[in-house]
Structure 1
Amino acid sequence: MKGIYSALLVSFNEDGSLNENGLRQIVRHNIDVCGIDGLYVGGSTGENFMLPTEMKKRIFSIVADENKGQVNLIAQVGSLNIEESVELAKYATDLGYNALSAVTPFYYKFTFDEIKHYYNTIINSVDNKMIIYSIPFLTGVNMSVDQFGELFENEKIIGVKFTAGDFYLLERLRKAYPDKLIFSGFDEMMLPAVVLGVDGAIGSTFNVNGKKSKELFYLAKEGKIAEALNLQHEVNDFITDVLDNGLYQTLKGLLSLQGVDAGYCKRPMKSQTEEMKKGTEKIYRKYFA
């Protein structure tokens, strides 16, 4: 389960419907061109929290069918509707996903006991494994080392996708739970996360920049820090340009320029403006041409 996982982009048609052929092309690009180790399906990058349940299921199904066991698959099934989470967990497990993940429940200020019940309810409903998705800057949910430990008491909860800038907490987690999987969730902070002992990384920019990101990861793992730092500088130049131009729209635009039908973003996200298209073309010429 270790290594580089793309937080999978999803192709939509202009009317918001799922572009199934485009999704298959994105999967193939990640596996065949970017050479990633796995796919994290149904996360923020997949615009998951704007989708109806049946569309989420269809995405899980298409990805599994196109992948055909080539790389590891993680299904993000978290939702404010716990019945939906359980339904998706069962569906993805039946499809053969290697593990599940679930974002911490957000919006309402849930107590830790409520959060713990949420995770145990989801993972105890299936014969599978759970990776906590911790992204406090979007959810407002911060957990301590001891609270992560309480969740890890359930042996089916095997790790965490750590999308936070608190590297003191990351170091404490790594030391306290050496046998749990920890994935870095910020592409721009991969090098320091690897130095602190993460087992892998899950990122949105890997959909287009997977080769270089994977090279960075393994350089850092091998202790070649100077080389890895130079590569992190290059990766972060790219990330800065993408963020300045519009994250998801630019990533989809870059895929389109490489012949992948990456489609549109789901409303209320806007489509690429003419200015954004010009910016995307400039980024493509700078980093990929």
Structure 2
Amino acid sequence: MNGIYTALICSFDEKGKVNEAGLREIVRHNIDVQQVDGLYVNGSSGENFLMSADQKKKVFEIVKDEAKNDVKLIAQIGALDIDEAIELGRFATELGYDAVSAVTPFYYRFDFDEVRDYYNTILEQVDNKMIIYSIPALTGVSMSLGQFAELFENEKIIGVKFTAPDFFLLERIRHAFPDKLIFSGFDEMLLSAAVLDVDGAIGSTFNVNGRRAKQIFELAQEGRIKEAREIQKVTNDLIADILANGLYQTIKEILKSRGVDAGLCKKPMKNLDADRVKKAQEIAKTYL
């Protein structure tokens, strides 16, 4: 399951409903144009935490039906309601997803015993492989090397999506667990993570910049660091402009400029005004 995975954007209509035709176009764009190795479905970039369980299931269904077996698929099932996470995990597994992933439980100040129990409880009832989604900046949950070791004692936990700037910890995890999958979660730090021998990356900007991400990753693996750094520089210029204009909204507008019906964001996210739409189109022309 190594490689570059897009954290898939989802297309919504004006009423916040999943736009099936647009979502299918996004999937095909990622597979056929960006040529990524896999799709990470219903993560933060897919506005997962703004959706009902039924909407999440619909997205899982549409993506699997469109992608079939063209690329690997990871289903992000994490939810504060553990019963929902289990239900989604079973659903995605029955659809044929290659693995599930779950963000660490958030909002309440869960201690590590509770976090560990969360994953083990899910995996007792979901017959699939698990990739932990660690994103401390948004969840408030930071874990030590020893705590990752405790989680990895469960053989069904095969790796981690590591979305943190702690490269000391990243290196320690890589050294201690050579057989576990490590996916970098910060697009702007892909080269730095690749140098530490991660197995791949999962990123939102790969919806529009996946081919460059693959170049960075492959060049780093070949030891061609100077070339990779040049591509990372262009990538980071693109990322900086996207972030300044509105992350998910700008990615959607860039996709629209490429003929992909990426739709709107769900409320309470706001959509871009005319000036920012124009800026998104300029970003597309400049970098893509």
User: For residue 175 of structure 1, what is the aligned residue in structure 2?
Assistant: 175
Give the partner amino acid of 2:17. S
Q: Percent of aligned pairs with the same residue?
A: 64
Q: Map of 1:7-26 to 2, 5 A cutoff? A: 7-26=7-26
User: 1:217 matched to which residue of 2?
Assistant: 217
Offset at residue 61 of structure 1 (A): 0.4
Deviations along 1:16-55, one digit per CA (max 9) or x if unpaired, are 1110000000000000000000000010000000100000
The 5 Å alignment of 1:65-214 reads 65-214=65-214
Shift of 1:284: 1.3
RMSD across aligned positions (CA): 0.5
Q: Which amino acid aligns with 2:252?
A: K
Q: Secondary structure at 2:271's aligned position in 1?
A: coil
Alignment partner of 1:73: what SS?
A: strand
Q: Any unmatched runs of 5+ in structure 2?
A: none
Give CA deviations for 1:122-179 in whole Å, capped at 9, x if unaligned.
1221221000000000000000001000000000000000000000000110011111
C-alpha displacement of 1:225: 0.3
Q: 2: CA distance between counterparts of 1:173 and 1:190?
A: 17
Q: How does 1:220-239 map to 2 (within 5 A)?
A: 220-239=220-239
| Alpha-carbon displacement from aligned partner over 1:205-245 (angstroms, at most 9, x marks no partner) | 00001111111110011110000011110100000010011
CA distance in 1, matches of 2:271, 2:240: 20
Q: Residue 124 of structure 1: SS of its match in structure 2? A: helix
2:66 and 2:285 mapped to 1: Cα distance? 30
Q: How far apart are the structure 1 equivalents of 2:285 and 2:197?
A: 35
1:256 maps to 2:264: no
Deviation of the 1:283 alpha carbon: 0.5
Shift of 1:5: 0.1
Which letter maps to 1:251? I
Q: Give the whole-Å Cα distance in 1 for the aligned partners of 2:115 and 2:284.
A: 42
Q: Which residue identity lines up with residue 119 of structure 1 in the other structure?
A: Y
Question: Aligned partners of 2:185, 2:131: CA distance in 1, in Å?
Answer: 12
In the other structure, the counterpart of 2:32 is: 32
Deviations 1:233-279 (A, max 9, x none): 01000000100111001000000000000000010000111111111
Structure 1: stretches of 5+ with no match in the other structure: none
Q: Distance in 1 between matches of 2:124 and 2:167?
A: 30
Q: Write the letter of the residue equivalent to 1:178.
A: P
User: 2: distance between equivalents of 1:34 and 1:220?
Assistant: 19
Q: 1: distance between equivalents of 2:225 and 2:285?
A: 28
Runs of 4+, deviation exceeding 3 Å: none
State TM-score, norm by structure 1: 0.99
Q: TM-score, normalised by structure 2?
A: 0.99
Deviation at 1:285, TM superposition (A): 1.4
In the other structure, the counterpart of 1:269 is 269
Paired residues, number: 288
Report how far residue 59 of structure 1 moved. Answer: 0.2
